[in-house]
């Protein structure tokens, strides 16, 4: 046993000596390495080996790191930094940088070029803003019907659950009658408090018969609100602005507004299902409808493209921002306020849906797509999808409106008064 232990001790000593010779060889060779482009320092191999042994304690562990020795190998006391003067630093902890102002819609080339979210916030908070409106036509409201959303005018609730504003041309007398009998009957929304009104402009002076009939209709039914602008396709943006203005001014207790054209058929059951499925968070900033995401302006010859022609002078960008088709869409009361304010600081655009899309872009808002709104295809009783619709376009014939109403048995939602 003693011989084995002696053998192991001798072997360990041999390996240690070989290791020390290797270190000695490396230290001798190191200064001669030419490919290292650094300044070399003369090294005393004996001193370095002595340094290694001094760093070993009797039990074989390393001493504290950072040990300093003099040239004779004696340990030096640690340095004293107590009187060291540190470099002077700036007392200001906030370094100024010139801010890069963002409007949120730099990629939209349509005036005004402003920070619209901040502009609208200030105006709604009654703060002053450094810019004047550029799109405030000031048309007087000829027939306002301000009492329509007041509790004294309501039957099922103390406030409207839904405000329906139907864009209707003055001459569409039969369509309005069909809507009043069908989906526009406020009693046929399953006991929900709906306020339904028609939006109208005025007629040109050479249409005196239409003007007279419209006046009588207003007196009989009391469900048409009118503003003093000529009712024309290119004035539909004014009609949308009128609807937003009226909703904000006279029906601010309605949490949700539905805009719809009079040639749409609306299915009350599915509208109710959609409205009552909206959370408070979604409703707060809601704009929803059939969304066009990549529509491009029609630049071909005006005579060929008709009323949809768009010049670069009117809209210079190559694509419209996402917008909801104006035939039927929903907007929350909060968004109605914001849109109405923002519309006054946005240059007029004759296409009402594109105009709203421009404002939404400037407001950094995203419209929600509703596939149940068939804005560009007609869905009727011949389609299996008919019972899933919120609304469908091209019901310009009053008979088609009533036929769809009967087919879907919509009278089951009517409440007898």
| Per-residue model confidence as pLDDT tens digits over 29-43 | 555 544 444 444 555
Cis peptide leading into residue 112 (ω within 30°):
yes
Residue 37, pLDDT score: 47
Query: How many other β-carbons are positioned within 10 Å of the β-carbon of residue 387?
Result: 13
Residue 302: both structure tokens together: 């005006």
Q: 3-state secondary structure string, the chain?
A: CHHHHHHHHHHHHHHHHHHHHHHHHHHHHHHHCCCCCCCCCCCCHHHHHHHHHHCECCCCCECCCCCCECCCCCECCCCCCCCCCCCCCCCCCCCCCCCCCCCCCCCCCCCCCCCHHHHHHHHHCCCCCCCCCCCCCCCCEEECCCCCCCHHHCCCCCCCCEEEEEECCCCCHHHHHHHHHCCCCCCCCCCCCEEEEEEEEECCCCCHHHHHHHHHHHHHHCCEEEEEEECCHHHHHHHHHHHHHHHHHHCCCCCEEEEEECCCEECHHHHHHHHHCCCHHHHHCCEEEEEECCCCCECCCHHHHHHHECCCCCCCCCCCCCEEEEEEEEEEHHHHHHHHHHHCCCCCCCCHHHHHHHHHHHCCCCCEECCCEECCCCCCCCCCCHHHCCEECCCCCHHHHHHHHHHCCHHHHCCCC
Residue 38, pLDDT score: 45
Long-range contacts of 42-47 (CB under 8 A, 24+ apart): 47/71, 47/73
Contact (CB, 8 A) for 237 and 353: no
Tokens 């609306």 correspond to 266
Determine the average pLDDT of the residues in 240-250.
Answer: 99
Tell whether the model's pLDDT for residue 410 goes beyond 70: yes
Q: How far apart are CA 56 and CA 18, in angstroms?
A: 18
As a whole-number percent, the residues of the chain with pLDDT over 90 amount to 71
Residue 148: both structure tokens together: 């329509």
Tell whether the model's pLDDT for residue 318 goes beyond 90: yes
Residue 8, pLDDT score: 43
Residue 93, pLDDT score: 80
Query: How many other β-carbons are positioned within 10 Å of the β-carbon of residue 347?
Result: 13
Phi and psi at 199, nearest 5°, equal: -100, 130
Contact (CB, 8 A) for 205 and 173: no
Determine the average pLDDT of the residues in 49-53.
Answer: 52
Determine the average pLDDT of the residues in 14-25.
Answer: 66
Residue 22, pLDDT score: 66
Residue 78, pLDDT score: 72
**Mean pLDDT score across all residues of the chain:** 87
Residue 100, pLDDT score: 87
Contact (CB, 8 A) for 350 and 237: yes
Residue 163, pLDDT score: 99
pLDDT band with cut points at 50, 70 and 90 for residue 194: very high
Residue 132, pLDDT score: 97
Q: Which of 28-42, 232-246, 302-316, 400-414 has the lowest mean pLDDT?
A: 28-42
Tell whether the model's pLDDT for residue 305 goes beyond 90: no
Determine the average pLDDT of the residues in 316-340.
Answer: 98
Determine the average pLDDT of the residues in 70-99.
Answer: 72
Determine the average pLDDT of the residues in 402-413.
Answer: 97
Phi and psi at 318, nearest 5°, equal: -85, -15
Of 381, 387, 417, 416, the closest CA to residue 402 belongs to 381
pLDDT band with cut points at 50, 70 and 90 for residue 196: very high
Determine the average pLDDT of the residues in 291-302.
Answer: 90
Size (the chain), residues: 417
Determine the average pLDDT of the residues in 318-341.
Answer: 98
Q: Note the pTM of the prediction, 2 decimals.
A: 0.78
Determine the average pLDDT of the residues in 2-8.
Answer: 47
Most confident of 73-77, 99-103, 251-255, 303-307: 251-255
Q: How far apart are CA 11 and CA 265, in angstroms?
A: 101
Residue 224, pLDDT score: 99
Residue 61, pLDDT score: 47
Tell whether the model's pLDDT for residue 59 goes beyond 50: no
Sheet architecture: strand order including 373-374 = 265-266, 391-392, 373-374
Of 318, 414, 321, 333, the closest CA to residue 363 belongs to 321
Q: How far apart are CA 187 and CA 414, in angstroms?
A: 5
pLDDT band with cut points at 50, 70 and 90 for residue 416: confident
The string of pLDDT tens digits covering residues 121-172 is 999 999 999 999 999 999 999 999 999 999 999 999 999 999 999 999 999 9
Gyration radius from the chain CA atoms: 40
pLDDT band with cut points at 50, 70 and 90 for residue 27: low
Q: Which of 53-62, 289-298, 301-310 has the lowest mean pLDDT?
A: 53-62
Mark 320-331 as b/e (b = at least 16 C-beta within 10 Å). bbbbbbbbbbbb
Q: Which of 75-89, 187-201, 319-333, 346-360 has the lowest mean pLDDT?
A: 75-89
Distances in Å between the Cα of 1 and the Cα atoms of 5, 7, 8, 11 are 6, 10, 11, 15
Tell whether the model's pLDDT for residue 3 goes beyond 50: no
Q: Which of 216-225, 306-315, 326-335 has the lowest mean pLDDT?
A: 306-315
Residue 43, pLDDT score: 54
Contact (CB, 8 A) for 124 and 337: yes
The fold adopted by the segment(s) 116-413 is Spore Coat Polysaccharide Biosynthesis Protein SpsA; Chain A (3.90.550)
Q: Where are the domains of the chain?
A: 2-43, 116-413
């Amino acid at each position: 046993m003693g011989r084995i232990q002696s053998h192991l001790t001798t072997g360990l000593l041999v390996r240690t000596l070989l290791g020390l010779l290797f270190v000695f060889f490396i230290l001798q060779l190191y200064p001669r390495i030419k490919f290292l482009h650094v300044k070399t320092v003369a090294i005393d191999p004996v001193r370095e080996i002595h340094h290694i042994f001094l760093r070993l304690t009797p039990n074989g562990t390393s001493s504290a790191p950072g040990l300093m020795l003099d040239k004779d190998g004696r340990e030096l006391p640690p340095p004293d930094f107590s009187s060291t003067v540190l470099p002077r630093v700036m007392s200001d902890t906030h370094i100024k940088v010139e801010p890069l102002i963002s409007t949120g819609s730099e990629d939209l080339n349509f005036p005004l070029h402003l920070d619209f979210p901040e502009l609208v916030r200030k105006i709604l908070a009654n703060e002053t803003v450094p810019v004047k409106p550029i799109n405030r036509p000031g048309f007087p409201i000829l027939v306002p019907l301000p009492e329509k959303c007041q509790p004294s005018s309501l039957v099922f609730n103390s406030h409207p659950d839904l405000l329906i504003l139907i864009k209707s041309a003055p001459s569409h007398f039969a369509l309005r009658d069909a809507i009043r009998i069908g989906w526009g009957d406020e009693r046929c929304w399953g006991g929900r408090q709906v306020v339904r009104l028609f939006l109208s402009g005025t007629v040109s002076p050479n249409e005196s018969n239409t003007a007279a009939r419209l006046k009588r209709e207003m007196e009989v039914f009391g469900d048409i609100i009118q503003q003093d602008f000529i009712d024309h396709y290119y004035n539909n943006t004014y009609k949308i602005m009128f609807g937003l203005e009226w909703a904000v001014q006279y029906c601010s207790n309605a949490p949700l507004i539905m805009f719809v054209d009079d040639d749409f058929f609306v299915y009350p059951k599915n509208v109710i299902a959609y409205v009552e499925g909206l959370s408070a968070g979604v409703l707060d900033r809601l704009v929803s409808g059939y969304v066009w995401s990549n529509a491009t302006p029609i630049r071909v010859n005006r005579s060929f493209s008709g009323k949809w022609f768009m010049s670069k002078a009117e809209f210079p960008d190559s694509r419209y921002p996402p917008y909801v088709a104006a035939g039927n869409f929903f907007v929350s009361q909060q968004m109605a306020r914001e849109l109405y304010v923002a519309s006054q600081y946005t240059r007029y655009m004759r296409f009402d849906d594109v105009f709203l899309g421009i404002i939404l872009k400037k407001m950094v808002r995203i419209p929600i797509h509703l596939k149940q709104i068939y804005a560009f295809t007609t869905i009727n009783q011949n389609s299996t999808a008919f019972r899933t619709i919120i609304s469908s376009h091209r019901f310009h014939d009053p008979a088609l409106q009533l036929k769809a109403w009967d087919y879907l048995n919509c009278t089951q939602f009517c409440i007898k008064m």
